[in-house]
Every structure is written in structure tokens, then in C-alpha cells.
């Protein structure tokens, strides 16, 4: 069986760069515009303002009140089963990774990190969450592994107008009063060259840390939602086996960057009625390109098996394939959809 059709989702500034740029000095000012007192509030649990002012070298623009703290209501797989003549393959932004490259102000590794990171695009200006971690289950970052475990985006990110990244990360202290702000910023990415898909890597600094964004500007693209399921009667996933599920495109190969769908690390692979529980499942692919999904499984320090499967993108519908892993067979389903550039 294919995936369910209702819930959709299964699971200082930098100089100009090829394919786009982060605008220096463009920092979101999260200001509560209260008629009685202009009190500033911050953090994912704060009372958010009626609008978000983004002040930068090109002046100030405002994100509508309804979008300030709201998550995007637009699902993935929007046009997988419902044909539409309006959308066409369009430029999208692939989010490969987000990591902490430098820490300052007395912070020391390891870091117990919680908070959120989101991206806003022209589709609805609401938050498309890419990282969300509560204080009680924070992620431990080390110098050897400083990458945030991304859980989004939940749908493809439209790269028509400038895209804003919003980050509010904190380091957990012994008590809440001892929590420290690791990164509190927003940076606007503008696509300046839409002729060819490109890999973009850039740093952005806040008071106590520097974050590295690894992104892909994907031209004339569609959205791919990826599902893996253990085929009944063809083996099972062994206890004690870890795994890494990933996806990449032909234009930006796996050797340069890949979308990590799941990296179980030291944890076991969670399976729900045969379906692999992924951290995220959405990727962007050029309509004239190729999507490659990969699986590596290991026990201890040794990789036991790895396999991959390529798919030719479509504007809608599904593509199906399978991966032989020796101990089991995984059915792979890719749901294709065009992307709305605006509501």
C-alpha cells in the first residue's frame, strides 16, 4: 500500500555567493507592537508580536500578524493526487544541514541544545519548521558532531521571493534561569541566479555562536515525499542494527550534500507497522533530473549493507521501487507534487 493521503508528512553576514546571497545586516527584530508599551519578547514560548519586522539594507518589510508564530498549514503532497493547471516546476530551496561551527562567551562542548529553527517563504509566510526540540528532550551537540537533527521542512520551500530563516536556540543549564541563548537570529536568503542548481554554504554569526547553513538552490523543481516500508514476508529489520537513510539529486551529488532522512545514531530504527519512522521525508528535485535514495545499515562499527535506488521525477502521482538489504527488502514509495509559489 502507498502512503496515506490525509496526514501528508510522514514523519555577521556573508558576502555574495554563487546562486544567491545572504543579505548582510538583515536581522529580524521580534518586537511586540503594543499600544501601551513596546515591550520586547523572545524565545519559542514568548507571546509573539502582531507582526514581524525584518530590518536590513533594503529597508524594513513586515511578515503578517497571522504568520508570526503560526506553522504553515500547506501540506506536502499537495498535488500528488489532485491535478492542477496552476503550479509548474519552480525554484525551491533544499535544506541539507545546519550546524554549530563556533561557540563563544564561555560556552563549552558538549552543548545541550533546545529551541527551534524555521524557514518562511512566499507560499504563506508561516513557519515551515526545520528543527524543533523541547527543553526536556534537548539534543547533545559535540565538537565531533555539531549538526542539528533536522525534522523538516514539512513541505518544499519556495524560492521565488526572499526566504527568511528564523533561529532561536538555547543551551540548557542546570535550571531554567541558567539557560543561555546559543543563537537568536533571522537571515534572509535571496536567489540571484536561477539558471542552474547550486550548492550554497554560508555562515551566520550571533553573540555566542556561528551557524553554518548548507543549502541547495534547486531550479525548475518538484517536491518528493519519500516513504520506506519493510516488505511483508521478505525479512525483518534486525535488533541492534542502526541505519542512515538519505536522498540526493543528480545536480548536487551525494559527495557534496545529501538530505538526511534518518540517522539513527546509537538509537534503534523505529518501525511502525512495517513503515520506517523517518526524521524528515521531503526533498526537492529538478523535474529533468534524478532522485537517488540511499540506505546504509550497520552493527557496531561495521557497515553491513548499503543500497540505493534512483527515480525519475514526475509532476504528480507516485513512483515505486525496492531495496534489497539482505536481511529484508524495503519497498520505496516517492510521492511527487508540484509546489505552490504563493497562496
Q: Which domains does the chain show, CATH number per domain? A: 221-337 (2.60.40.150)
Which value, to the nearest 10 degrees, does the dihedral of the CA atoms of residues 69, 74, 76, 77 take? 170
How far, CA to CA in Å, does 45 sit from each of 111, 115, 173, 199, 275? 21, 9, 17, 33, 33
What's the pLDDT score for residue 132? 96
From the list 283, 291, 287, 285, the residue with the least C-alpha distance to 260 is 283
Q: Distance between CA atoms of 68 and 42, rounded to whole angstroms?
A: 12
- Residue 65, classed as helix, strand or coil, is helix
What's the pLDDT score for residue 240? 87
Say if CB 50 and CB 43 are below 8 A apart.
no
- Residue 340, classed as helix, strand or coil, is coil
What's the pLDDT score for residue 48? 41
What's the pLDDT score for residue 36? 31
How far, CA to CA in Å, does 41 sit from each of 32, 48, 255, 306? 7, 7, 42, 48
Backbone angles phi, psi at 176, to 5 degrees: -60, -35
What does pLDDT average to in each consecutive run of 10 residues of the chain (343 residues)? 54 33 37 32 42 50 57 95 85 97 96 97 92 97 98 95 92 96 90 83 92 95 98 94 95 87 91 97 97 94 90 98 97 97 75
- Find cell 539558471 and name the residue: 195
What's the pLDDT score for residue 288? 96
The residues, ordered by sequence, that sit 6+ positions from 12 with a Cβ below 8 Å of its Cβ are 24, 204, 205
How far, CA to CA in Å, does 278 sit from each of 17, 58, 179, 216, 326? 32, 39, 30, 21, 21
Number of continuous H segments (helices) and E segments (strands) in the chain: 0, 22
- Residue 255, classed as helix, strand or coil, is coil
Pairing of strands 328-337, 318-324: antiparallel
Query: Structure pTM?
Result: 0.82
Q: All 3 cell numbers of residue 79?
A: 498535488
Say if CB 21 and CB 198 are below 8 A apart.
no
Q: All 3 cell numbers of residue 241?
A: 542494527
List the alpha helices (DSSP H) in the chain. Answer: none
Amino acid at each position: 500500500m502507498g502512503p496515506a493521503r490525509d496526514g501528508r508528512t510522514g514523519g555577521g553576514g556573508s558576502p555574495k555567493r554563487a546562486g544567491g546571497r545572504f543579505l548582510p545586516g538583515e536581522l529580524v527584530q521580534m518586537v511586540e507592537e503594543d499600544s501601551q508599551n513596546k515591550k520586547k519578547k523572545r524565545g519559542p514560548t514568548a507571546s509573539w508580536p502582531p507582526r514581524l519586522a525584518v530590518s536590513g539594507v533594503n529597508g524594513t518589510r513586515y511578515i503578517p500578524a497571522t504568520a508570526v508564530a503560526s506553522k504553515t498549514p500547506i501540506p506536502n503532497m499537495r498535488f500528488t493526487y489532485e491535478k492542477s493547471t496552476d503550479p509548474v516546476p519552480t525554484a525551491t530551496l533544499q535544506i541539507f544541514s545546519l550546524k554549530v561551527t563556533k561557540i563563544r562567551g564561555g560556552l563549552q562542548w558538549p552543548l545541550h541544545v533546545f529551541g527551534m529553527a524555521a524557514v518562511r517563504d512566499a507560499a504563506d509566510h508561516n513557519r515551515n519548521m526545520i528543527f524543533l526540540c523541547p527543553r526536556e528532550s534537548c539534543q547533545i551537540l559535540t565538537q565531533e558532531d555539531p549538526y542539528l537533527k533536522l525534522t523538516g521542512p514539512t513541505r518544499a520551500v519556495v524560492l521565488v521571493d526572499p526566504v527568511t530563516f528564523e533561529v532561536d536556540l538555547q543551551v540548557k543549564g542546570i535550571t531554567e534561569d541558567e539557560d543561555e541563548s546559543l543563537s537568536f537570529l533571522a537571515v534572509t536568503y535571496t536567489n540571484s541566479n536561477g539558471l542552474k542548481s547550486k550548492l550554497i554554504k554560508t555562515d551566520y554569526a550571533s553573540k555566542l555562536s556561528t551557524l553554518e547553513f548548507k543549502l541547495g538552490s534547486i531550479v525548475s523543481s518538484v517536491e518528493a515525499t519519500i516513504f520506506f516500508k519493510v516488505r511483508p514476508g521478505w525479512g525483518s529489520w534486525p535488533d541492534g542494527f542502526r541505519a542512515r537513510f538519505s536522498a540526493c539529486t543528480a545536480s548536487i551529488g551525494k559527495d557534496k550534500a545529501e538530505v538526511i532522512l534518518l540517522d539513527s545514531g546509537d538509537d534503534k530504527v523505529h518501525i511502525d507497522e512495517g513503515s520506517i519512522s523517518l526524521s524528515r521525508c521531503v526533498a526537492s528535485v529538478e523535474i529533468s533530473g534524478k532522485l537517488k535514495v540511499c540506505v546504509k545499515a550497520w552493527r557496531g562499527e561495521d557497515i553491513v549493507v548499503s543500497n540505493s535506488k534512483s527515480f525519475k521525477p514526475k509532476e504528480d502521482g507516485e513512483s515505486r521501487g525496492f531495496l534489497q538489504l539482505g536481511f529484508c527488502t524495503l519497498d520505496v514509495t516517492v510521492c511527487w507534487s508540484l509546489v505552490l509559489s504563493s497562496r
